[in-house]
Amino acid sequence: MKEKELIQIIKSSLNSRYIGDDCAYLSDLGIVITQDSLVEDVHFKLSYTKAYEVGWKSIAVNISDICASGAEPAYLTVALSLPEYINTDFVKEFYKGAKDAAGNAKIVGGDITGSDKLYVSVCAVGKTSGRRISSRSNAKPEYKIVVSNEHGNSAKGLKLLLEGKNERNKFTKAHLTPTVQEEFSRQIAQNINTDYAMADTSDGLADALMQIAASSGLKLCIETSKIPHDPSVDLETVLYGGEDYGLVAAVPQNFETTGTIIGKARKGQAGLEIDRKFYGNIDDKIYNHFKGEK
């Protein structure tokens, strides 16, 4: 089964208007909510990941979703499933990392069960008070596309870790203890007075851009030379790497943000125009294109 096929089953099963953005926006309660899980040997291996880092990242990926909505990260619950080879020191270090990544948000509950692999599922709640909440479908023609954070570092870090290069440096840290773009999100959500789009780049920068393009029915025109990235990281990794937990936003031209302008939205067929070449989806064309260029 592909994830997209599954999401289609879930959408049709639930007939819900909430599924699509990084968070569900529960306007009657003034909150957004999200839930993301990390599974041992699927999302991380304990051979190269410390307990502190598992704790940090499991919280950070959820706070990143809250920030993508523009809400203020407020509360978290943590469900841990622990195999027998996990000891109490591991759990203590896990919670140190979780608490540090949570920042001002509070971990208020959760659940512990047994399992045969380490499994962490976190639910995060964000407050919407004083903030305007984003939607991927809210981009408008002529909006500028702004990105926070360097991209590609996390994928390069993962490659190093998988090669046994366990030293903690800029790249491995980007993968293991990503920094969530909370201030970038807050500045936009508290100050903007019109609809805007925002998404986190957990599945890659190109994926986030394509989600906004498809949901808004617009062409997003991007200049790759403007995307912040480390000079040692190749363009394919910058666009597709994933797990950098940057944010990409589409906001009016005259709205001031931090971050870097990498392009703008235009009327036209929904998709991405990358360095003046158009791609209607990222599953084949762009990916193969850059694969071919290597």
Give the footprint of a second copy on this chain (CB under 8 A): 1, 3, 5-7, 9-10, 13-14, 16, 18-19, 23-24, 26, 29-31, 33-37, 39, 41-43, 74-75, 77-79, 81-82, 86-88, 91-92, 95-96, 99, 106-117, 119, 121, 123, 125, 127
Nearer to a second copy, 112 or 162 (CB): 112
Please state the closest distance from residue 83 (CB atom) to a second copy, in A.
10
Contact 70, 134 (CB under 8 A): yes
- Taking the least distance from each CB to a second copy, the nearer of 91 and 235 is 91
Smallest gap, in angstroms, from Cβ of residue 77 to a second copy?
4
**Residue written as token pair 């912040």:** 228
Tell me the residue ranges of DSSP E strands in the chain: 24-26, 31-39, 72-82, 106-114, 119-127, 144-147, 197-200, 219-222, 247-251, 260-266, 271-274, 277-279
Q: What is the smallest separation between the CB atom of 106 and a second copy, expressed in angstroms? A: 7
Kindly state the smallest distance separating residue 70's Cβ from a second copy, in Å.
Answer: 16
Q: Smaller CB distance to a second copy: residue 111 or 142? A: 111
Which one, 16 or 191, has the nearer CB to a second copy? Answer: 16
Cα(115)–Cα(99) distance, integer angstroms: 23
Which residues, other chains included, contact 62 with Cβ-Cβ below 8 Å and sequence gap of 6+?
Answer: 34, 35, 36, 76, 122, 123, 124
CA distance 186 to 70: 6
Write down the least CB distance from residue 193 to a second copy, Å: 24
CB closer to a second copy out of 4 and 276? 4
Sign of the dihedral through C-alpha 126, 198, 253, 218:
negative
CA distance 289 to 294: 9
* Min separation Cβ 54 and a second copy, Å: 14
Nearer to a second copy, 215 or 257 (CB): 215
Q: Closest separation between CB of residue 79 and a second copy, Å?
A: 5
Q: How far is the CB of 89 from a second copy (least distance, A)?
A: 9
Q: What residues contact 254, with CB distance under 8 A and at least 6 apart?
A: none
Q: What angle do CA 40, 152, 267 make, to 5 degrees?
A: 115
Question: Rg for the chain (alpha carbons), in Å?
Answer: 19
Q: Which is nearer to a second copy, 91 or 261 (CB)?
A: 91
9 or 275, CB closer to a second copy? 9
Are the C-beta atoms of 232 and 189 separated by less than 8 Å? Answer: no
